[in-house]
Chains A and B, each alone.
Chain A
Amino acid sequence: GAGVSQSPRYKVAKRGQDVALRCDPISGHVSLFWYQQALGQGPEFLTYFQNEAQLDKSGLPSDRFFAERPEGSVSTLKIQRTQQEDSAVYLCASSPGTGGLGYTFGSGTRLTVV
């Protein structure tokens, strides 16, 4: 597609429910990033993929967070047993190479845990 596509745009989950957020990067983009943006804050890094390899997951806040990109294109961020503090916008970004040029963000998924 023309841009980075994320789905769903909005998700309301009951506390304790598992959720899966999808990111469809620009075709051919090597690098894929997940960021978490709490209300009124700047995005915070969660994890990074280079093709299918997850090279950095240092930003994942707990072992309830899991991300995958099995074929080096679409990525899924899964949050198990959601808690209220997980409420945030989850942003996906991709870039063609590994140097940061052409960084393109998706519109994000707004997750609300009630």
Chain B
Amino acid sequence: KNEVEQSPQNLTAQEGEFITINCSYSVGISALHWLQQHPGGGIVSLFMLSSGKKKHGRLIATINIQEKHSSLHITASHPRDSAVYICAVRSQATGTASKLTFGTGTRLQVTL
């Protein structure tokens, strides 16, 4: 079982739809990152969370530490939101505290 699991793996939505991507993890963490990766492109950090909720434009990220679960929401989705969205966690374990463990990503396609 992977330490970080995302759902769904693939998601197709029509422009304007509200989108939710989920992330569950099995280890104690000090922080959780939501990342965006465009085809052939690099990875962009969207959010880093350790509690509560953050909002940036049409993106909202929430985390429930007790339930070991986080969600990324996109409101009023647009074709330019099409990308792979990756959840990554920073473990509380001793050692390399900053290294990230990644989920396998959610491939989002937003159509007109």
Query: A100: which B residues are within 8 A, CB to CB?
Result: 30-31, 33, 48, 90, 97-98, 100
Q: How many A-B residue pairs have CB under 8 A?
A: 67
**Contact flags A75-107 to B (C-beta < 8 A → 1, else 0):** 000000000000000010101001111011111
Partner-contacting stretch, out of B12-20, B62-70, B71-79, B102-110: B102-110
Are B41's CB and A95's CB within 8 A? Answer: no
B22 interface contact, C-beta 8 A: no
Q: How far is the CB of A93 from chain B (nearest CB, A)?
A: 8
Are B42's CB and A108's CB within 8 A? Answer: yes
Q: In the complex, A114 Cα to B36 Cα: how many Å?
A: 29
Query: A72: which B residues are within 8 A, CB to CB?
Result: none
**Contact flags A49-92 to B (C-beta < 8 A → 1, else 0):** 00000011010000000000000000000000000000000010
Knowing A42-B103, A103-B33 are in contact, say whether A56-B96 is a contact too (CB < 8 A): yes
Interface residues of B (CB under 8 A from A): 4, 30-31, 33, 35, 41-45, 48, 86, 88, 90, 95-105
